[in-house]
Amino acid sequence: MKDLGLDCIVCIGGNGTQKTAAKLAAMGLNVVSVPKTIDNDIWGTDFSFGFDSAVSIATDAIDRLHSTASSHKRVMVIEVMGHKAGWIALYSGMAGGGDVILIPELPYNIHNIGDVILNRLKKGKPYSIVVVAEGILTDGRKRAAEYIAQEIEHETGIETRETVLGYIQRGGSPTPFDRNLSTRMGGHATELIATGQFGRMVTLKGDEISSAPLEEIAGKLKLVTEEHDLVVQGKRMGICFG
């Protein structure tokens, strides 16, 4: 930094980036960081840019599966990203009309899921959409979607198919929300540098752009809880979370 005559390093990325940024700041380097991850699991900020775009892609995929599931009277299991945090599965599953949403933070019972799907069948709903995060507990030998699809078919006898969305969630055109969020965060990062406020990460709280000390952010994960409003409202609507 001294050789190049740099005033500050701006670190843009997810949890690993924030942890490294905190280490650089602790060494005395001028660092400002910005949260960017589709997983939305960075502590201290309501949203990181990339998340809304990934949710939009996942929701579109779920929307498209409804017609196939309906016409073939099948259960469709779609796997989205999220190793430890189920934010993408929760937001896309709710937005896309998922009937069952499974995330790493909430335990599930495969017998209960089977009962939910069979009860839907009894009520004249011959197909179901199951949205799963890749990090849910499985037998350890199969991908989440494959495991859940096989278990559901075994439990219910209903033909079940899986779709793994994979890396397609990570690319493409950003949503307007993400474009505007990154502009606002970038502008605030510039203000922090101009005013000499280093060792901080830009955050979004409600509709307010602010910042927090990196040492408070690094090494923490923001996870979904049972008290999250989407989980609460989803359960009231009859959506199964396991």
Q: Which two tokens stand for residue 170?
A: 């990570």
The closest alpha carbon to 193, from 49, 20, 30, 35, belongs to 30
Handedness of CA 26, 28, 34, 36 (dihedral sign): negative
Q: Catalytic: 39?
A: yes
**In sequence order, what E strands does the chain have?**
9-13, 31-35, 75-80, 100-102, 128-133, 160-164, 200-205, 208-213
The packing angle between helices 144-156 and 110-122, to 10°, is 60
Q: What is the DSSP letter of 81?
A: -
Q: Which two tokens stand for residue 240?
A: 């199964």
Q: Which two tokens stand for residue 156?
A: 């219910």
Give the active site residue among 39, 41, 52, 99: 39
Q: Which residues form the catalytic set? A: 39
